[in-house]
Amino acid sequence: MGNKEKVRVRRLGWAGVEIECAGETLLIDYVQDISQLPMIRNPDERFPASSKTGATSVALLTHLHNDHADPGALDVALSKDAPVFRPIMAKGNDADLALTKYAETEFKKYKLRTEIVGEWEERKVGPFQIFSVPAVDGFGDPQLSWVVECGGFKIIHAGDTLHHGSWWRIFHRFGPLNVAFLPINAPIVDFPPLRPMSSIEAVMTPEQAAVAASILKAGFVVPIHYDAMHKPPTYIETANPIERLTASLRDLNLGIMVKEPGDWFELW
């Protein structure tokens, strides 16, 4: 990718990430309002606002669940005509659409420049080269992961995907990755539209995230999608996710950087 330049990255609430490069910013899974999730949210979790209100260049959505997609927040954060790249709409009966219906309805309220993107597509916005890569949603809804190249660095954001068999293909196309934002909370979920309930985790376990990072040859992992939501019996987060991820990455000789919501760090 040529010579490297400074890139600043900030972990936002839950799965949110902000990337700053060459004076422009990009948001992934940016959320401010999760009032639709009162039954599972930890009220102590912070959801920091974007650093450039009304001036963000582009937003990426891994999927349309309420904890990853907030059209109202994007309307405030984005500059005029900034694109929002998202996966295809969910299909099926009312139960199949239950987890994406609110965000889809909210998108109709705002004049956002949304664009549906398929797997293995490429977009360029300012200094950001953006690539969509496969992901697998634990509830069957369409999901993408995103690879962002900027300033000579490659960053992957994996939403709340399950472990899957496309990690090698992602590595062959983009690896090694400098930073991997990976979900680790592996919840057991009992939602009314998803019954009979499954005893299988709906997101990667910490150990699976470490294996994914190893395949991607990630420079280090920044864990996301943990702690903010844990309300048994509706949503039961796996025990000790950070400790387990740290141990698994250590066994694989990979690094970890744990960041609280709002924390910036720099890539050089």
CB-based contact 49:262 (threshold 8 Å): no
Domain range list for the chain: 7-267
Query: Does the structure show a pLDDT above 70 at 61?
Result: yes
Closest CA to 88 of 132, 44, 48: 132
Q: What are phi and psi of 121, to 5 degrees?
A: -105, 165
Task: Tell me the pTM.
Answer: 0.96
Query: Which residues lie closer than 8 Å to 89 by C-beta, 6 or more apart?
Result: 64, 100, 104, 116, 142
H or E segment and range at residue 85? strand 83-86
pLDDT score recorded for residue 2: 54
Going by pLDDT thresholds of 50, 70 and 90, the confidence category of residue 42 is confident
pLDDT score recorded for residue 261: 95
pLDDT, average across residues 213-238:
95
Q: By 3-state DSSP, what share of the chain in percent is helix, strand and coil, each rounded to 5?
A: 20, 30, 55
For residue 208, the number of C-alpha atoms closer than 13 Å in the C-beta half-sphere is 18
pLDDT score recorded for residue 45: 81
pLDDT, average across residues 255-268:
95
CB-based contact 147:170 (threshold 8 Å): yes
Query: Which residues lie closer than 8 Å to 42 by C-beta, 6 or more apart?
Result: 227, 228, 229, 230
Q: In the 8-state DSSP scheme, what is residue 79?
A: P
pLDDT score recorded for residue 1: 47
Question: Across all residues in the chain, what is the average pLDDT?
Answer: 95
In percent, the amount of the chain with pLDDT more than 70 equals 99
Q: What are phi and psi of 11, to 5 degrees?
A: -80, 130
Rounded Cα–Cα distance for residues 48 and 170 (Å): 30
Find the angle CA(40)-CA(46)-CA(48) to the nearest 5 degrees.
Answer: 130
Going by pLDDT thresholds of 50, 70 and 90, the confidence category of residue 39 is low
Residue 152 vs residues 8, 59, 127, 141: alpha-carbon distances, Å: 12, 20, 10, 33
Q: Domain 7-267 sits in which CATH superfamily?
A: Ribonuclease Z/Hydroxyacylglutathione hydrolase-like (3.60.15.10)
pLDDT, average across residues 11-39:
92
